[in-house]
Amino acid sequence: MSLAQRVLTDWLDMQIALMDQCAHRGTEGWAHRSVYELVAVHGQWFVPSADLPAGIRAMPEKECFANAAAVDRDHPHLVYTEGFAVASGSPVGVAHAWCTDGEGRVVDPTWSDLKGSAFLGIVLPPDTRPQRHRAWAGVLESPETLFPLLRNGLDSVR
């Protein structure tokens, strides 16, 4: 496990422990208590790419959900992926979206330097991916899309 993967795993474990300490009962009986647990259970590690593939350009920072959704629509060989990522040297993970190729490599039009970073995420089923051109919030960020996944589990939409 890389240093960035360890940082992201520790951060995710800390978020799950914090949710447990809060003893919030609003998700009692649901398949997953939080987005952190959902990603911890169903997420997989993806390998950061050195550079963007030909035909994919860098896109605006802080718009990862819209950027990844646009790349997913324009490049059918790539798939929209959401989860958490940590940049090299950062002590915390952030909610993030990127695309993934068939080899499990990250194609991230938002972050310019992926060296030393880590990505843990879920390839979301096509019918749950953002459909609007401007997806300001991620599927795992918006209550209307997140809550059904937490309540029923990811397997219910596959």
The H-or-E segment that residue 85 falls in is: strand 79-86
What's the pLDDT score for residue 136? 67
Residue extents of the structural domains in the chain: 3-152
| Mean per-residue pLDDT, 17-31 | 84
What's the pLDDT score for residue 47? 95
What's the pLDDT score for residue 28? 83
Q: How confident is the model at residue 152 (pLDDT cuts 50, 70, 90)?
A: very high
Tell me: the pLDDT tens digits for 62-101? 999 999 999 999 999 999 999 999 999 999 999 999 999 9
Q: Whole-angstrom Cα distance, residue 46 to residue 22?
A: 31
Token pair of 13, please? 């474990």
Nearest-CA neighbor of 19 among 2, 43, 39? 39
What's the pLDDT score for residue 157? 63
Tell me: the pLDDT tens digits for 132-149? 655 567 899 988 889 999
Q: Whole-angstrom Cα distance, residue 49 to residue 115?
A: 8
The contacts of residue 64 (CB under 8 Å, 6+ apart) are 96, 97, 98, 108, 110, 111, 138
- 45, 118 Cβ separation under 8 angstroms: yes
Question: What average pLDDT does the structure give for the chain?
Answer: 91
Tell me: the pLDDT tens digits for 91-141? 999 999 999 999 999 999 999 899 999 999 999 988 887 766 555 678 999
Between vectors from CA 144 to CA 142 and to CA 149, what angle results, nearest 5°?
Answer: 90
CB contact burial 80-119 (16+ within 10 A = b; e otherwise)? bbbbbbbbeebeebebbbbbbbeeebbbbbbbeebeebbb
